[in-house]
């Protein structure tokens, strides 16, 4: 027996729809869905995918992102039109001082810096100025879109990234990264009530708590205390949204083990409109739930589990 050696099987949006319609016998072998069937089923398919986000995220749908330091604010918007949060960034330092009003800075390394990228510079008063890079770097000289609003010392931290990260559905872990001491420490994820009960929200120091509100377009991270300088970055592990099916050839934003579950789930949604009897719809619903739970259980995290007596326990 000879195997294929291939593991890249995939399906498109329209193939999922066609399979779902055949699963409930609306289409027969050799038939193709009409334009109306495709468009109506595509809406239900996207609704199904978005509804499944409420089940919680398996490992493959978790992402790590970074909230970069921004002084003078306690709330930072996260999303495509938000503030400075990203999936990846580069960091360097200045190799020479710069004066107020300068349009360039000189850095120790310009690797990862490019025209149009966002750039954050820690000024001499420890505030951070964010702007963009204007043109390709010339060696280690970076031209800024906006001139410096304060002086910059030699050795000042400089951040750079290309793209803002998408809105998290929820943040499940958060850490504080010390960019100078190269250390990592967990910070508390708190509720809205806990955040509101804290002291002065404008106090600036070392961040140790975060409350996250997902909102609709950009989420809002409330940080306490707010950033006092550019020494720290917050690393967050978050649930990301599932991607849409926008075009006929779009493939699922899911691993292969979810394809059958998505197809049967769509068939279950299409069944009432297409006249399947109630008993058959109930059976189909159970089938859809079975395949979804089977796929969902595969994405859980593996790890050791141990139990030990509390340190204060005595016989």
Per-residue pLDDT of the chain (315 residues; tens, 9 = 90+): 789 999 999 999 999 999 999 999 999 999 999 999 999 999 999 999 999 988 876 788 899 999 999 999 999 999 999 999 999 999 999 999 999 999 999 999 999 999 999 999 999 999 999 999 999 999 999 999 999 999 999 999 999 999 999 999 999 999 999 988 789 999 999 999 999 999 899 999 999 999 999 999 999 999 999 999 999 999 999 999 999 999 999 999 999 999 999 999 999 999 999 999 999 999 999 999 999 999 888 766 655 556 666 555 555
Shared domain check, 183 and 46 = no
Shared domain check, 226 and 169 = yes
Look at residue 313 in the predicted model and tell me its pLDDT.
52
For the CA atoms of the chain, what is the radius of gyration?
25
Own/partner contacts of 55-60, CB < 8 Å, gap of 24 or more, are 55/292, 55/296, 56/239, 57/169, 57/239, 57/240, 58/296, 58/298, 58/299, 58/300, 59/299, 59/300, 59/301, 60/255, 60/299
Domain assignment present for residue 306? The answer is no
Domain assignment present for residue 217? The answer is yes
Q: State which H helix or E strand residue 285 sits in.
A: helix 278-297
Shared domain check, 175 and 79 = yes
Shared domain check, 264 and 200 = no
Q: What is the DSSP string of 164-221?
A: BPPPPSEEEEEEEEETTTTEEEE-EE--HHHHHTSS-TT-EES--EEEEE--SSSEEE
Domain assignment present for residue 281? The answer is yes
Shared domain check, 233 and 263 = no
Domain count along the chain: 2
Shared domain check, 168 and 277 = no
Residue 236 structure tokens: 């967050």
Shared domain check, 276 and 170 = no
Domain assignment present for residue 29? The answer is yes
Domain assignment present for residue 39? The answer is yes
Strands (E) across 46-189 are located at: 62-67, 75-78, 85-86, 90-93, 104-106, 118-122, 128-132, 141-143, 157-161, 170-178, 183-186, 188-189
Shared domain check, 74 and 48 = no
For residues 119 and 113, is the Cβ–Cβ distance under 8 A?
yes
- Rounded Cα distance between 65 and 84, Å, is 11
Residue 190 domain boundaries = 59-87+164-239
Shared domain check, 19 and 45 = yes
Look at residue 292 in the predicted model and tell me its pLDDT.
93
Counting every residue written for the chain, the total comes to 315
Look at residue 4 in the predicted model and tell me its pLDDT.
92
Shared domain check, 64 and 19 = no
Look at residue 308 in the predicted model and tell me its pLDDT.
66
Shared domain check, 190 and 69 = yes
Please count the other Cβ atoms lying within 10 Å of the Cβ belonging to residue 236.
23
Look at residue 9 in the predicted model and tell me its pLDDT.
95
Residue 290 structure tokens: 């079975």
Shared domain check, 199 and 83 = yes
């Amino acid at each position: 027996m000879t195997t294929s050696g291939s593991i890249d099987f995939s399906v498109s949006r329209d193939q999922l729809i066609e399979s779902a319609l055949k699963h409930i016998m609306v289409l027969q072998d050799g038939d193709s869905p009409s334009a109306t069937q495709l468009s109506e089923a595509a809406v239900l398919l996207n609704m199904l995918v978005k509804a499944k986000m409420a089940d919680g995220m398996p490992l493959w749908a978790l992402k790590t992102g970074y909230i970069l330091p921004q002084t003078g604010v306690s709330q930072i918007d996260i999303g495509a039109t938000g503030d400075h949060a990203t999936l990846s960034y580069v960091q360097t330092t200045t190799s020479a001082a710069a004066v107020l009003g300068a349009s360039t800075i000189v850095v120790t390394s310009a690797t990862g810096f490019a025209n149009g990228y966002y750039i954050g510079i820690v000024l001499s008063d420890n505030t951070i100025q964010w702007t963009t890079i204007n043109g390709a770097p010339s060696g280690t000289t970076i031209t800024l879109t906006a001139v410096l609003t304060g002086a910059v010392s030699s050795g000042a931290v400089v951040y750079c990234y290309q793209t803002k990260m998408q809105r998290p559905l929820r943040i499940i872990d958060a850490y504080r990264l010390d960019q100078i001491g190269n250390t990592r420490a967990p910070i508390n994820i708190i509720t809205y009530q806990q955040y509101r009960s804290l002291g002065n929200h404008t106090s600036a120091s070392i961040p140790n708590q975060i409350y996250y509100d997902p909102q609709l377009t950009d989420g809002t991270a409330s940080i306490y205390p707010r950033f006092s300088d550019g020494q720290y970055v917050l690393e967050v592990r978050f649930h990301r949204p599932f991607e849409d099916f926008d075009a006929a050839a779009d493939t699922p934003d899911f691993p292969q083990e979810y394809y059958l579950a998505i197809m049967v789930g769509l068939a279950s949604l299409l069944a009432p409109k297409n006249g399947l009897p109630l008993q058959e719809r109930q059976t189909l619903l159970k089938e859809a739930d079975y395949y979804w739970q089977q796929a969902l259980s595969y994405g859980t995290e593996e790890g050791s589990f141990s139990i030990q007596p509390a340190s204060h326990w005595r016989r």
